Amino acid sequence: MKKIAIYIASFLLISVTLKLEAQNVSKQDSQQTFKHGVGAGAGFTTGFGLSYRYMPLRYGVQVNFAPYHSKETDMYSLGVTFLYRLVETQTANLYLYQGNHYFYNSQIIYYVDQGKMTQTIDQTNYKNRSIESYVNNGLGIGIEFIIVKRIGFNIMMGYATYNNFSEVNFTGETGLYFKF
């Protein structure tokens, strides 16, 4: 009878230990499985456009990039954001972020010289280029809602400096990511 009790106690102890170990491994695997994310992001301090996010553990980085080029316009948005995860759950993640956004916009503006007004305007002689370039920088808190297992929707809010640190105001950012 003592042998049966020892076998049952040993079986229960081994079962509980293996179950706890399996839970720890599955939690680690889920975190390691979704280190990368691709999608779209938009924000004043994170930049806008196509987005890539790498978050191996608590610290991570996000890059947003949107190039546009046409005959008359060049526009580029580049954002690099640093992330620090505070809380991770099955349905949501809470994190701090620090965003850096560089924006460049160059357009050709056509104008008419009133002294030389003619029926046909030679546009090569009457153009000027307007250039807009600035850096925005922000700091705040973000929430990622896990919509389904591999898709997350992010909302971020905080304070930012705009136009090369000349203004301070609130900021808002968002993003949608497919994780892998």
Q: How many domains would you assign to the chain?
A: 2
Claim to verify: residue 26 and residue 86 sit in the same structural domain: no
Claim to verify: residue 109 and residue 121 sit in the same structural domain: yes
Claim to verify: residue 94 and residue 121 sit in the same structural domain: yes
Residue 58, SS3 per DSSP: coil
Claim to verify: residue 46 and residue 28 sit in the same structural domain: no
Claim to verify: residue 3 and residue 84 sit in the same structural domain: no
Claim to verify: residue 41 and residue 64 sit in the same structural domain: yes
- Identify the domain containing residue 7 by its residue range: 1-33
Claim to verify: residue 27 and residue 39 sit in the same structural domain: no
Q: How far is CA 103 from CA 45, 76, 82, 159, in A?
A: 10, 6, 18, 18
Q: 69-91 burial by CB neighbour count: b if 16+ within 10 A, else e? A: eeeeeeebbbbbbebebeebeee
What pTM value is reported for the model? 0.75
Claim to verify: residue 81 and residue 9 sit in the same structural domain: no
pLDDT at 115: 62
pLDDT digits (tens), the chain, 180 positions? 555 555 565 555 565 555 545 455 444 444 446 899 999 999 999 999 999 999 998 999 999 999 999 998 999 999 999 999 999 998 999 999 999 999 999 998 877 666 665 555 555 555 678 999 999 999 999 999 999 989 999 999 999 999 999 999 999 999 999 999
Claim to verify: residue 106 and residue 44 sit in the same structural domain: yes
Claim to verify: residue 93 and residue 142 sit in the same structural domain: yes
Claim to verify: residue 3 and residue 57 sit in the same structural domain: no
CA geometry: angle at 43 spanning 40 and 44, to 5°? 150
Claim to verify: residue 47 and residue 99 sit in the same structural domain: yes
CATH number for 60: 2.40.160.20
